[in-house]
Amino acid sequence: MLTIKEESRRESHMDIDEPEVHGNSDVDMIIEPLSNKEDDEERNFWKNNANAKPDKFEIEEGSMELLRVFYKRFFPYKTYCYWLNYSIDPMNKSFQNREFNFVKPGDDEIYMRYLSFDTIEEFKNEVLRVCPKKIDIGAVFTAKPKEKKSLKLSALKPVEKELIFDIDMNDYDEFRTCCSGATICEKCWQLITVAIKILDAALKGDFGFKHLLWVYSGRRGVHCWVCDERARKLNDDERKSIASYLGVIKGGAQQNKKVHLYKNSFHPSLTRAYKIIEEYFERVILEDQEVLKDEREWTKVLEFIPDEAVRRRLNDDWRENSSRHSIEKWDNLVEELESSVKLAKNPKKAESLRFCKIEIMMQYLYPRLDEAVSTKMIHLLKSPFCVHPSTGRVCVPIIPEECENFNPMIVPTISSLYNEINDYDRSHVKNDGGRSLHDYEKTSLSPYIKYFDKFVQNILKETLAKNKAVMQMSMEF
Ligand SMILES: [Zn+2]
């Protein structure tokens, strides 16, 4: 007989709402409800924590103590709960029927699924009691997930969830030359920056969404939470259409699909994306990543050219002049394409050669989305203000307008915050007059929480205005 752990591993690619696996919400079980690379790595980290090299990881021995301090002094409970409540009124169904998943501290992967909370205090007390090494946010259900056991299965249906997007550096590994695996640097982070810019513009411009919360995943990716009411109410089919509309280059499991553009199908959204890509391609792809530096790298680029003769000419030329910079080689490639367009007799061939340059540029810099994350309302996603277990970094919001200046390497960690707050407390004597500062205000976490506060305030203001309008309308009748 299989244990629950083995059983769930076997079925890890199935719908996560597997009743026999998650049947007892109030019993802690060893299950693995999520299946993605990052989660696997996190699991391994916690399992192997004892052997972690101090220079490699921020969190090691004593990490749980630091995490406890973080939850006690820094986690923005109030704003966070009002965010998920989507109203300044007392906690309502949006919050109370929301599923949370906590991963318990310790070596084993113990998931506490189908948690839900009635009040901010209840949520806070449970976080402080459990000190979860990870918090995931799920959907809003028709009833309280914590009452799952006493409800009929049909009574607990997901009804709302932010539309979410996941961009991970994993999906750029096929050509990333500066780093590999879990490591990132300022150069490759630019790949994520361009992805944020394109996706942010598309979600706002093509769909009219306004409330986009971009969150650093704590290591080498970002999540986007689209919080507009319209987005939260999308059903799975609608989510699927949006994801496939935006998924020109597939990330995740469908990573290798290549972009094919044709004159007739060059949508305005792609034109806008291309304009952004044009701005960054030379610096990010040719200078920083040097994707034409050596034969192994340039072969990948040449594969996109739909003409054997052009490929051969460029390959021969570059072999003879391999020290030529990627920027120069790119100029060679563009010239070759332009002259072969003129020479092409078949109009279809001419068209594919004409679009080849754009296709290559899009292939490198168009956001690679893990569509599976976006298409299911029930999908769990790591919460903002969580702490990434292998870096110790806080999953802080990113301001899309300033994402170019966002440096993941200097994001506060639970240990840096611990040091900052201690330094502050040591050097400041308590003064009696004036407002006492929140702990976060004494640290480098402050701008992120202030941004989050403002973000949530804007959502709440909109709800308030909407309720006021409804009230006014009902008074007029
Ligand atoms: Zn790098």
Q: What is the DSSP string of 179-226?
A: --TT---HHHHHHHHHHHHHHHHHHHHTT----EEEEE-SSSEEEEEE
Ligand 1 center from residue 362 Cα (angstroms): 20
Query: CA dihedral defined by 182, 184, 190, 196, rounded to 10 degrees?
Result: 40
Answer yes or no: are the C-beta atoms of 282 and 333 closer than 8 Å: no
Tens digit of each residue's pLDDT (9 = 90 or more) over 274-294: 999 999 999 999 999 999 999
Predicted confidence at residue 473, as pLDDT, reads 79
Ligand 1 center from residue 187 Cα (angstroms): 5
Tens digit of each residue's pLDDT (9 = 90 or more) over 28-40: 333 333 444 455 4
Ligand 1 center from residue 302 Cα (angstroms): 23
Residue 173, both tokens: 């590994």
Predicted confidence at residue 253, as pLDDT, reads 53
Residues with CB in 5 Å of ion ligand 1: 178-179, 185, 187-188
Q: Using 50 as the pLDDT threshold, list the residues of the chain that sit under it.
A: 1-37, 40-60
The single residue of 42, 58, 166, 420 carrying the catalytic annotation is 166
Nearest of 187, 366, 166 to residue 272 by alpha carbon:
366
Predicted confidence at residue 26, as pLDDT, reads 34
The single residue of 109, 160, 168, 228 carrying the catalytic annotation is 168
| Separation of alpha carbons 307 and 302, rounded Å | 9
Ligand 1 center from residue 252 Cα (angstroms): 19
Predicted confidence at residue 268, as pLDDT, reads 83
| Separation of alpha carbons 52 and 245, rounded Å | 42
The single residue of 32, 38, 39, 99 carrying the catalytic annotation is 99
Predicted confidence at residue 100, as pLDDT, reads 98
Partner residues linked to 98 by β-bridges:
140
Ligand 1 center from residue 231 Cα (angstroms): 33
Whether residue 147 lies in the annotated active site = no
Whether residue 108 lies in the annotated active site = no
Ligand 1 center from residue 334 Cα (angstroms): 26
Ligand 1 center from residue 54 Cα (angstroms): 21
Task: Please compute Rg for the chain using Cα positions.
Answer: 25
Taking residue 296's Cβ as centre, other Cβ atoms within 10 Å add up to 8
| Separation of alpha carbons 470 and 87, rounded Å | 15
| Separation of alpha carbons 112 and 65, rounded Å | 20
Maximal C-alpha separation, the chain: 84
pTM beyond cutoff 0.75: yes
Whether residue 168 lies in the annotated active site = yes
Structural domains present in the chain: 4-164+379-466 (3.90.920.10), 168-217+233-371 (3.90.920.10)
Partner residues linked to 228 by β-bridges:
none
Ligand 1 center from residue 189 Cα (angstroms): 7
Predicted confidence at residue 250, as pLDDT, reads 64
